[in-house]
A and B are shown apart, each in its own frame.
Chain A
């Protein structure tokens, strides 16, 4: 005797299983490509042409002012805990590579300039680093910043060749520069959490 209701249940069950499987794959693929952690499309492309005001001193600095130097661009803010954690490493690495064809740029992200200066006075600053103000988040948007700290590497030809998400360390910074010097691309590295705004966790 044909069982219409039973057939309907079977169809329903298999439909649920099928939809679930597809949904799982889609969700999984979407989670796996968290935009904040996905490879930056900037890598391999010319660095954004931004010109920013000095945080300390006067005048503007453009990224192409550094000529053939390798440029390390770090986004930081006084309200960012992870930025304080990585600051010693940035200062040490900038000092260590000073005069060796490597320039460091620190860009204050959505921060009051007074707070940024106080941050640098508290945590220390490298004389080999240009500290800049990102008015209107122009540089952050041009670099595709989701949160800070984030650090980008630009090779001597002006191409973005690396990105570090999260608080970095001296060994990662130095070995990335070493790699660029050897003609290799350090690519993207995820080292920890970032913050998008004050109070963000």
Chain B
């Protein structure tokens, strides 16, 4: 009686408080699930650290790398997780600026799907090969058995023939002969049945050296192809040749600041005078003589400048010396140097004429210079007309117009 009461008590409680029971069970299940799935921050940190590849190491996770970069990444991960960041947020915090995936187990995506599928494909092909080989071996075994059966059949027939000869010769009595014949005939019947069950064409084939050679060649050739194709795609990092790149480029493409920086960073470079001269010309044409002056001076004094470059620099220096500083004598010296370096260039000679006329009032020297220009050079018609006009003015002892 008391057993009945005890047994019915839980049922009574459950019936009386059904929602309480459901709630308790649900809470318990939730608690168990939470405990089971709870990742402590340290566990997550270790897990993430073991899955993120150190960017400055060779395939080593940051959790295992002693490099300062890896240690710093682990520290950032730890801080992120402790501040309540999710796994993905912590990963983004560390890897957000890095291209590609630095995860050692990359997510499946269009670019990584092949990496996941190749092992599976290899497993499938390997299994298929194993089965094919096994089937081939099984076929070989059947071939051996069939030949054994054939040999056994011949032997049994020979035994039957021998038994008949012994009986005919009276070498064996009737009872024993019948017993042996029965045994041989049974064996013959069993062998014939076995032969009927074994299909022909499964005999061992002779090993083909050519076939093996072809197989080996295909495998080796394929491996070579892998190396060749993959190797052709390797991005070679160029050798470091800093400071001189692009000096042969068109100076017109660059700003004054860029040209100035290139010149300043490559003072000893053999090709720098072209860049220096281009920059000086820009300043000169803009009327910024103070900015142009040091660059022309560098070109004019450079051992590496060509005669044409040096002549251009000296010509500009001569003109700036006259126009900017009104130092006519010095200007004439510079222009004379330029003329010696580039005798075919009429421009220094023309400027000599102008400086002589306008700076010194030396009409004879000016006339001589203008005459030389008109005599010696292939001049544009407009320029020829201008020089002719100026020569006439000088010959008339006219005042310099500028």
B13: interface (CB < 8 Å): no
Total of A-B residue pairs, C-beta within 8 Å? 247
For chain A residues 1-36, which have a beta carbon within 8 Å of chain B? 1-9, 11-13, 15-29, 31-36
A141: interface (CB < 8 Å): yes
Complex Cα–Cα for A48 and B241 (A): 30
Binds A, one of B98-106, B178-186, B364-372: B98-106
Residues of A near B262 (CB, < 8 A) are: 92, 169-171, 174
Query: What residue in chain B is nearest A182 (Cβ atoms)?
Result: B255
* Contact assessment for A20 and B223 in the assembled complex, using a CB-CB cutoff below 8 Å: yes
Binds B, one of A58-66, A93-101, A115-123: A93-101
Q: Which of B115, B136, B232, B266 contacts A170 (CB 8 A)?
A: B266
* Contact assessment for A96 and B264 in the assembled complex, using a CB-CB cutoff below 8 Å: yes
User: How far, in Å, is B354 (CB) from chain A's closest CB?
Assistant: 34
* Contact assessment for B205 and A3 in the assembled complex, using a CB-CB cutoff below 8 Å: yes
* Contact assessment for B67 and A197 in the assembled complex, using a CB-CB cutoff below 8 Å: yes
Binds A, one of B1-9, B121-129, B166-174, B331-339: B121-129
Q: Which of B100, B201, B225 contacts A35 (CB 8 A)?
A: B100
Q: Which of B215, B222, B234, B246 contacts A31 (CB 8 A)?
A: B234
A173: interface (CB < 8 Å): yes
Q: Which of A171, A175, A192 contacts B241 (CB 8 A)?
A: A192
B397: interface (CB < 8 Å): no
Band of interface residues on B: 35 or more
Complex Cα–Cα for A19 and B69 (A): 37
* Contact assessment for A16 and B218 in the assembled complex, using a CB-CB cutoff below 8 Å: yes
Complex Cα–Cα for A50 and B73 (A): 16
User: How far, in Å, is A16 (CB) from chain B's closest CB?
Assistant: 6
Complex Cα–Cα for A137 and B96 (A): 14
Complex Cα–Cα for A21 and B125 (A): 14
Mostly, the A contact residues are helix
Residues of B near A193 (CB, < 8 A) are: 237, 239-240
Q: Which of B139, B225, B226, B261 contacts A93 (CB 8 A)?
A: B261
* Contact assessment for B254 and A140 in the assembled complex, using a CB-CB cutoff below 8 Å: no
For chain B residues 197-250, which have a beta carbon within 8 Å of chain A? 201-202, 205, 211, 214-215, 218-219, 222-223, 225-226, 229-235, 237-247, 249
- State whether A140 and B69 are in contact (beta carbons under 8 Å apart), knowing that A31-B234, A95-B264 are contacts in the complex: yes
Q: Which of B121, B215, B237, B261 contacts A174 (CB 8 A)?
A: B261
User: How far, in Å, is A4 (CB) from chain B's closest CB?
Assistant: 5
Complex Cα–Cα for A1 and B204 (A): 12
Residues of A near B237 (CB, < 8 A) are: 37, 166, 190, 192-193
- State whether A27 and B226 are in contact (beta carbons under 8 Å apart), knowing that A41-B99, A96-B260, A171-B262 are contacts in the complex: yes
- State whether A170 and B97 are in contact (beta carbons under 8 Å apart), knowing that A8-B135, A110-B69 are contacts in the complex: no
Complex Cα–Cα for A7 and B239 (A): 51
Complex Cα–Cα for A177 and B264 (A): 17
* Contact assessment for A31 and B230 in the assembled complex, using a CB-CB cutoff below 8 Å: yes
Complex Cα–Cα for A8 and B215 (A): 11
Query: What residue in chain B is nearest A89 (Cβ atoms)?
Result: B265
* Contact assessment for A136 and B75 in the assembled complex, using a CB-CB cutoff below 8 Å: yes
Residues 65-83 of chain B, each 1 if its beta carbon lies under 8 Å from chain A, else 0: 0011100110110000000
Query: What residue in chain B is nearest A35 (Cβ atoms)?
Result: B100
* Contact assessment for B68 and A197 in the assembled complex, using a CB-CB cutoff below 8 Å: yes
- State whether A19 and B254 are in contact (beta carbons under 8 Å apart), knowing that A35-B98, A166-B240 are contacts in the complex: no
A88: interface (CB < 8 Å): yes
Query: What residue in chain B is nearest A15 (Cβ atoms)?
Result: B125
- State whether A38 and B245 are in contact (beta carbons under 8 Å apart), knowing that A9-B215, A190-B238 are contacts in the complex: no
20 interchain pairs, CB-CB under 8 A: A8-B135, A12-B132, A13-B215, A20-B226, A29-B111, A31-B230, A31-B233, A35-B102, A85-B240, A89-B242, A96-B258, A141-B69, A141-B94, A169-B246, A170-B266, A171-B258, A174-B258, A175-B258, A196-B69, A197-B69
New contact pairs (5) apart from A16-B219, A85-B240, A96-B257, CB-CB < 8 Å: A1-B201, A39-B99, A146-B55, A173-B258, A197-B69
Question: B residues engaging A (CB < 8 A)?
Answer: 55-57, 67-69, 72-73, 75-76, 94, 96-100, 102, 111, 114-115, 118, 121-122, 125, 128-129, 132-133, 135-136, 139-140, 201-202, 205, 211, 214-215, 218-219, 222-223, 225-226, 229-235, 237-247, 249, 253-255, 257-262, 264-266
Q: Which 6 A-B pairs have the closest CB atoms?
A: A174-B258, A144-B97, A196-B56, A192-B240, A20-B222, A92-B264
